[in-house]
Amino acid sequence: MPGCGRHATVPDAFPVRRERESASPLRAAKTHINRAMAELHARDRAQLVVLAYESGLVAPG
């Protein structure tokens, strides 16, 4: 069978995906922050920081 060898050629559908993934860390961070704000009913990122300190998730210093 043609193409069934050890190194079969497969159309590379991943370059676009890799390009998107390399450009998306900022988008991922924004998504995580927005979800945390929604879940904790925080008005803004500053309130998330306050909640992190109050809960002991972050220690001063």
Query: What pLDDT, in 10s, does the model give residues 5-47?
Result: 565 555 555 566 655 656 689 999 999 999 999 999 999 999 9
Residue type, 35: R
Tally the residues of the chain. 61
The confidence score (pLDDT) of residue 46 equals 97
Residue 55, φ and ψ in degrees, nearest 5: -85, -10
The confidence score (pLDDT) of residue 10 equals 57
With the C-alpha atoms ordered 7, 11, 13, 16, is the resulting torsion angle positive or negative? positive
* Residues 60 and 45 sit within 8 Å (Cβ to Cβ): no
Q: Is 54's pLDDT higher than 80?
A: yes
Threshold 0.75, pTM exceeds: no
Q: How far is CA 58 from the centre of its chain?
A: 21
The confidence score (pLDDT) of residue 40 equals 95
